[in-house]
Structure 1
Amino acid sequence: MTAFDVMLPYYGDVALMQAAVRSVLAQDDPDFRLTVVDDGREPGVPEWFAALGDDRVRYLRNERNLGITANFQRCVELSRADHVVIMGCDDLMHPGYLSAVRAALAAHPQAGMVQPGVEVIDGSGAVVSGLVDTTKRRLYAPSVQGRRLLGGEELATSVLRGNWLYFPSICWRGEALREVNFRDGLSVIQDLALVVDLLERGEQLLVDNTATVFQYRRHAVSESSVQAFSGTRFTEAERYFAEVAERMAARGWHRAAAAARFHSASRLHALTMLPGALRRGQRDGARRLARHAFGR
């Protein structure tokens, strides 16, 4: 059995997906299998994978569109390795990603999740540092020099205040991931929910900032996007934070419960979206965003 399963749930831009695949195949640690689960119908994609002729790559196309959460769940179910990466189909690995994760796990084998060093790129591949990621680093992410193991209420409180993790870059302990999987009914906040569920099981996160080994692609929010400023995404967030606050309180993790109730980063995100909704005349969206941002 290979050491790492790299799972790639795919839908969307073909060229970016192909770049992501090439970055996996360029790893200096060869002990991996890449599985691409195609949830779309872009022409020429199956033929491109067939032409690769690489036995480390498995390509599957869903018979029907499953949607993001169900496709992520299928990726988890298809995984078999001891450690699993669920990579974004437009993100990039540096050649040393897997070897860096392997070294981190060798130093801390008890870790259920490994968050390696990440840099953010835009749609064209340029390294950027926008408001969202600056806020993540300065307000929410813990200070880590080298490696640090986190878990329990400490980490639950931290990520419920503001989710500073870069989900597609995380390497997960396969057994725990498969037992928990993604929650049904979540399409926006499912990554945070998965982390919290694993923390409740006693899993720990290893933050490893010894090297930058992953590029996370953040696309600009288009002013022409009606859905982006509708505020509907925050309805799911409000439901999740209310539910998880009750769970944290029942567990006796009262600081984590308070962080969930206030969910400061989610409120700040809604506040930054509010001017765009107002400029577009989306009154209902602006009301939803204001309600989430100000707790009304």
Structure 2
Amino acid sequence: MITLLKKQRLMLVLFTAIIFPFFAQATTSLPPAERQSSLDGVIRVLKEQYVFPETALKVGEFLLQQEQKGALADITTQEQFAAKVGDLIRQHSGDGHLNLALIAEQGGVSHRLKETDPLKNNNFAFEQARILPGNVGYLKLHKFWQTEEAHKVGHAALVFLSHSDHIVIDLRDSGGGSPQLVLHLVSHFVPEGTLLWEVFDRNGKSTEQIRSLAVPDSELLKTKPLYILQSEELVSAGEFFSYTLQQLGRAIVIGETSAGLAHYTGAAQVNDWLFVRIPMYRPVNPITGTNFEGVGVEPNIRVPAEMALYTALRLANKGS
């Protein structure tokens, strides 16, 4: 990935798209020789860039075994290759962030999933900011977008809620997204300079420490009781938000255990029609010494997702 400022270097690894030309009329048929070369390309990318080198080797060996056994012989199109081999590498690695995608379908090579849900696109996925009974501030967010505009919208929403007595942030329907927006939003609730997480490369070398930022007009928010609602569908950046504030003792997480996708993910081109979305860096929480990869964020209060808001309001109103 391309970086411009040292301070932003690793934050951009996950969330700066690498865009290649759009292949509008890509041929979908896939002869056996091209299938084999494409498989070799996927294995090469895994060995060179996947966050866990040993896992990359095991997945590569597994794919070669499948090819040798004839298990991939029924793949005759590019679409079938991306779907079947993508499923195999996810299953054998246990990594839900790892997948294959077609350049023509995505309009380029990018770590970003193509969003069609209006709730994840409209208003940078900030759906609601309102005051609930009992002077409880409520924010509903569907995705963590990587844009300066999303930072502005999020800041405005939190400042609007800052005079409430309690804050509820609803991530039950949220997807992943930008750790830059996670950093920005988390910084509203903790002192400037708080160590939030540290980033390690595939060789176990620490590459950057992520600390909270100075955010104007956020002093009131730093002492408000904070509740975060989550479901088992919550992934990636949304999990980072929950996990970071929970481990700092700054928030009570209510709902279900999240999906467990923690790694910084980039995109690597395999050939002129295929690319891999691939985890490249491992963030580590300074308090736990680990992250939530594969296990999810455990809620402080476990209830079905549909009961999470009710539970948070009961707690807030009881404490008022």
Greater fraction helix: 1
Higher-Rg member (1/2): 2
TM-score calculated relative to the size of structure 2? 0.27
